[in-house]
Amino acid sequence: MSERTAVRDPISNTRTGLPAAVAGWLVFVASGAVLVLEILSLRLVAPYLGLTLETSTAVIGFALAAIAMGAWLGGRAADAYPPRKILGPMVLLAGILVLFVGPAVRWTGEQVRGGDAGAVLAMAAVAILAPAALLAAVTPLVVKLRLQALDETGRVVGRLSGVGTLGALVATFATGFILVAQMPTSRILLVLGGLLIVLGVVLTLYLRGHPGAYGLLAFAVLGAIASSFYPPPCDVETAYHCARVVPDPERPSGRTLRMDTLFHSYVDIEDPSYLEFSYTRTFASVVDGARPGEPLDALHIGGGGFSIPLYLDFTRPGSDNLVLEIDKGVVELDVRRLGLKLGDGIKAQIGDGRVGLADQPDDSRDLVVEDAFGGLAVPWHLTTVETAKQIRRILRPGGIYLVNVIDYAPLLFARAEAATIAEVFPHVALISRPEVLAGRGGDNLVLVGSDRPLRIEQIEAQLRERVPEYSLIEGAEYEAFAGDARILTDDYAPVDQLVTFHSQTG
């Protein structure tokens, strides 16, 4: 039987049949489009909900639900209706819905900002459920068109399943490594939606699909127009963040770097010694109290707006600041909009902070500052005792380790991180608002570690001058704060769950 041989569908008494090459490419594209949507959905919801484990889980879960629902409904539709009539219109409708994904998510995001579970689920559903389900329904329809006899069922289903999986793999790698780096999410969605619409129209013509499908093209135009009215809430979409620089209306030279849902850094482009955020003034208080005046060799894990590297470079000429920043796009935005000048005083190394630690020589730094976040949580692999041991290896005798964390009552993550740092460094301190240290509310908490006694009186004097709202605890108070918290390790560090859950219930 030739590739174009057709038989009669016993239910509809219409011609069936689809060339193998057309069937394969159609399943390849539809399956790949689902994975493109899944990856882009994470980027779409991040500016409103952050990129937490819960957000990622919700998006992946809805993608799987859409695939299951689409396969089930597509199978039922293939038996109930002539596949030739509905396949083209279905692909066309999926393309139209892809065009509406960006505007729908951005409108929904403005209404439900926040990281509660309901908001995460609502945003994930808006982002992926309907278009992904339609695309997942393509495979059973194509299988029905390809089947010519029952004795070839296994071969046809197996081949198309394999082709669909291959399409998903190619789309995953192409999106993650190429597309996201080359163009904004909104443009990728526009291109994907446009390709699916063209494919749907061609299939409708080729298979003599339902003529009413052409009326859907008007909605495609509306989708494209809607995308232009809902631009991304960013100055730049980096590989990891939706980043935006916001001018300070009360300080003409002040700039705030916002990444996704959080204000990450504040920089005065004319006076880098000015520190707006309490935790950055805490960093400066510890450094200036413990190591006054001298140039420092500092390693920074996480760049953000480079507030502390700029401060050290400005106030301590001759200092060497190496910043490990995973997001090249953030560094480029800092150079363009925040006055960052890379050179002898400040260098940037693009890459993961934990990986970058392994490349640092022993006893090479006076100061290590860890200020890296993925949403509200510190990336888990930077919180463990193994990381702290790497830091101690890198620090010279008397060197200082500073860590910024955010947590909420009952501070389960902060307590665990305090216990973890105390496991490695014999001299430790913790700084935050008194009510937070007492277990009420939430805020930034700055942890300090060293292999030599800290100059507590000098640090507290600096805090009284710069951050009077913060207090320092050490010794027995620090031990009481950490309590019996479990030490975080590479084998056990549920940071997202500890922070996110308690931020919702605390």
pLDDT in tens, 407-428: 998 999 999 999 999 999 999 9
**Smallest Cα–Cα separation from 506: which of 407, 435, 379?**
407
Between β-strands 427-432 and 236-237, what pairing exists: parallel, antiparallel or unpaired? unpaired
The Cα–Cα gap between 106 and 44 comes to 8
Judge whether 246 lies within some domain. no
Output the pLDDT for position 2: 40
The Cα–Cα gap between 162 and 157 comes to 9
Question: Do the beta carbons of residue 405 and residue 432 sit within 8 Å?
Answer: no
> pTM, whole model, 2 decimals?
0.75
Judge whether 144 lies within some domain. yes
Residues 126 and 183 in one domain: yes
Residues 433 and 365 in one domain: yes
Residues 224 and 371 in one domain: no
The Cα–Cα gap between 213 and 198 comes to 12
**Once rounded to an integer, what is the mean pLDDT over residues 7-29?**
69
Domain ranges, residue 493: 278-505
Judge whether 449 lies within some domain. yes
Q: With 80 as the cut, is the pLDDT of residue 114 above it? A: no
CATH code, 418:
3.40.50.150
Q: Of 175, 210, 233, which closes a domain?
A: 233
Judge whether 252 lies within some domain. no
Residue type, 240: Y
Structure tokens given for 153 = 């069922």
Helix (H, G, I), strand (E, B) or coil at 501: helix
Q: Residues with Cβ < 8 Å from 240, sequence gap 6 or more?
A: 51, 326, 327, 329, 330
Q: Which of 65-69, 241-245, 276-280, 443-447 has the lowest mean pLDDT?
A: 241-245
Residues 390 and 475 in one domain: yes
* pLDDT tens-digit readout, 367-403: 999 998 876 678 889 999 999 999 999 999 999 999 9
Residues 312 and 205 in one domain: no
Q: With 80 as the cut, is the pLDDT of residue 10 above it? A: no
Q: Where is 243: in which H helix or E strand?
A: strand 242-247
Output the pLDDT for position 261: 67
Question: Do the beta carbons of residue 267 and residue 377 sit within 8 Å?
Answer: no
Q: With 60 as the cut, is the pLDDT of residue 501 above it? A: no
Q: With 90 as the cut, is the pLDDT of residue 134 above it? A: yes
Alpha-carbon distances, residue 445 vs 51, 178, 282, 346, 387 (angstroms) = 21, 38, 9, 26, 19
Residues 286 and 206 in one domain: no
Output the DSSP codes for 434-462.
HHHHTT-SEEEEEEEEESS---HHHHHHH
Judge whether 444 lies within some domain. yes
Own/partner long-range contacts of 13-21 (Cβ < 8 Å, ≥24 apart):
14/82, 14/84, 14/85, 15/84, 16/82, 16/83, 16/84, 16/144, 16/145, 17/145, 17/146, 17/148, 18/142, 18/145, 18/146, 18/207, 20/146
Residues 209 and 290 in one domain: no
Judge whether 394 lies within some domain. yes
The Cα–Cα gap between 123 and 62 comes to 10
Output the pLDDT for position 263: 81
**Once rounded to an integer, what is the mean pLDDT over residues 316-329?**
93
**Smallest Cα–Cα separation from 278: which of 466, 407, 455?**
466
Residues 360 and 212 in one domain: no
Residues 407 and 305 in one domain: yes
Output the pLDDT for position 224: 58
Output the pLDDT for position 348: 95
pLDDT above 90: percentage of residues in the chain: 54
Residues 326 and 429 in one domain: yes
CATH code, 225:
1.20.1250.20
How many structural domains compose the chain? Answer: 2
Instruction: Specify the higher pLDDT residue, 180 or 310.
Output: 310
Judge whether 260 lies within some domain. no
Q: With 70 as the cut, is the pLDDT of residue 500 above it? A: no
Output the pLDDT for position 117: 61
